[in-house]
Amino acid sequence: MCGETCKHGSEGAGRWRHRPATRHYDNFYGCNISEYAGFDTVCELAAFLGEHGELGAKLYNELSEDLGQARAAFDDYAGEYRSAADFAEQLHEDTGTEIPDSLRYYIDWQALARDMALNGEIMVFQTGFDEVHIFWSR
């Protein structure tokens, strides 16, 4: 026997037949799965992660491991940007806010994006170098 945390065991002894099936899992990008989660739950999470990968896992963990909320959050996906500051600047350009060229260099777009995140307007997830994903928090 390998021990309490291992699924190997002797069927004759009947030890591992009563252990939870989700004790060993890989490729879930660090998502926590209850050791007593049903197979339907695990399969739904696996399908979600297969579709959205690491970004889906970060969103799932941020939203208190609620798969329904994580799926719904993709309806409010604002896009991928090089930084949150680029998102804030693009948002102001898209909304038609006119900023004179003489003042443009005085605007701290990073601080604006940070304030938007702290105020709960957006969620920011970095998945790589120069790879930031923004979601609206509606």
Of the candidate ranges 19-23, 50-54, 70-74, 126-130, the one whose mean pLDDT is the lowest: 19-23
Q: Residue 134's pLDDT is what?
A: 97
Burial 31-40 (b: 16+ CB within 10 A, else e): bebeeebeee
Q: What is the pLDDT of residues 14-69, one digit of tens each?
A: 554 545 555 556 678 778 777 787 888 888 998 999 999 899 999 999 998 889 99
Q: Residue 42's pLDDT is what?
A: 86
Q: What is the pLDDT of residues 75-87, one digit of tens each?
A: 999 999 999 999 9
Q: Residue 98's pLDDT is what?
A: 87
Q: Residue 30's pLDDT is what?
A: 76
Identity of the residue numbered 22: T
Q: Residue 23's pLDDT is what?
A: 53
Residues 58, 40: Cα–Cα separation, whole Å? 21
Q: What is the pLDDT of residues 90-102, one digit of tens each?
A: 999 999 888 888 9
Backbone angles phi, psi at 9, to 5 degrees: 180, 175
